[in-house]
Structure 1
Amino acid sequence: MQRQLKTVIPALGTSDGAGVRIRRSLGQSQQARFDPFLMLDEFNSESSDDYAGGFPSHPHRGFETVSYMLEGHMLHEDHMGNRGDLKSGDVQWMTAGRGVIHSEMPQQEEGRMRGFQMWLNLPAAEKMKPATYRDIPASEIPTATLTNGGTVKVIAGEVEVDGKTVAGPIQGLSTEPRYWDVALPAGATFEQLIAKGLNAFVYVYEGDLTVGEPERKQESGNAGLLSDGEALTLRAGKQGTRALVLAGKPIKEPIAQYGPFVMNTPDEIEEAINDYRAGRLAG
């Protein structure tokens, strides 16, 4: 059964951190979530005025953040003494768990800064586990080459290409995430099985494509939420396309969110705020 494009969420321009200009699709409202995905931001600018302020020290609790740099250089530092440089093609997968206080600051004064940050929810049983993070250099992210000239960077999960499995560095999480960066030349097709029951969406960031059979067009700057099914078919438009394909197992638990805290109840949010104010957030 083919997955179809059922809902389109246009990315809206806004700012976050210390004035960083972004485009937000998922997460622009509490209704614009797709369990287990909470938020997806795209940043893309050659003007340092749009990113120079970065994201000074701030807290998180109860979910994971995934930063994917296409171009540029950001420095992550946190309360645990961790320090990580994210450069072009690199990924950081951070589990905030019970609490992390970190900063993400540009390490360039000019040039393009381009990439994405995605927030992935955690089930209640994992929201208070210790914080961890993993920096994944571009050299450790495998790229599957399609016979039509397309490519798929496999950040999480795996893809099947010509009978071979290409597995990304992120595996074994309870939400079973798939995170693929798909590039297709004009008119080329990408077909892949995605297990039934997983929620999946496509974010087009260059060109346009069609989804499913019968085909429905999706243009750049939009997140397309997909129906359930077992197979996904994407076909690039006349200019080719680049798109993120993300899928994950829905948690099906209540969500209480206050800014950078994502828990299950208002009482847990109040506890997170009190812990942060009292210096207990990160344990």
Structure 2
Amino acid sequence: MPTGTRKLTALHTLGVVNVSASGTKSILEDLKNITQVSGINKSEKLFSAISVLVHLESLSVWLDKDSQGCLDDISLRLKSLGSLKLHGLGDKLPEWSGKHLTKLTKIDLEMTTVMKQPEETGTTENASSQGKKGVMMLLGMLPELCILRICAKQFQDGELIVKVIKNAIEDNSFEKVKVLEIACGSSAKVSFGNKAMKKLEQLKIDCSIGSKYEFAGLEHLPELKEVWLKGSYDDALKQDLQSQLDKHEKRPVLKLE
């Protein structure tokens, strides 16, 4: 990465940059004058530089296996951030992810494991403060979230439960989400709550070799229009989805890719 990027004051997009290999100190100073940052590799000092970018609209970060926890102690107040991509996460989101991202409309996550809320597991043992909320609870409370992609090697206990529980009662959640894409590398049961994703229009299911899906609660999605099935899916999944969609009030279309 050449120095002097700060002089490009009208630059909107920068990517892809391996910060730790690009003269970190000077690059981080230059980043403070850029509106959008896309495709950044590991740097623990990166986020202190990004935190001053009050007009930052888009952020993409790829983490390697040795830096999964480097985001946890960072305070980001990116009130203008509309798009966030985090690849290489372990089993939790950064501590800051649900606090100040009030304008976030699109999020793309790639994780090792998506953990449940403790209410769904029946235990809070060894749960961190973020773990007590769970990944889906943090995502479900983002007020402007419209597009959500979740890719994981596995879901805890083989389940992804799309709903938010507060005080043992299901709460309204994912209120503006219209597009949901799910990808899992192992067997998974995906279920939708009664008060989640009431505006969902498009569900995308990405099947990899070895993955096996089961879906429940599609009838709780009143605005559902399309279900996309792509990858290495089998006839059993296709038939089960078609059967559920045939019973849906709006008869959503099953599309195969």
TM over 0.5: no
Which one has the largest radius of gyration?
A: 2
- Structure with the higher fraction of residues in strand conformation: 1
- Structure with the higher fraction of residues in helix conformation: 2
Tell which has more relative contact order, 1 or 2 (C-alpha 8 A, sep 6+): 1
TM-score, normalization by structure 1: 0.27
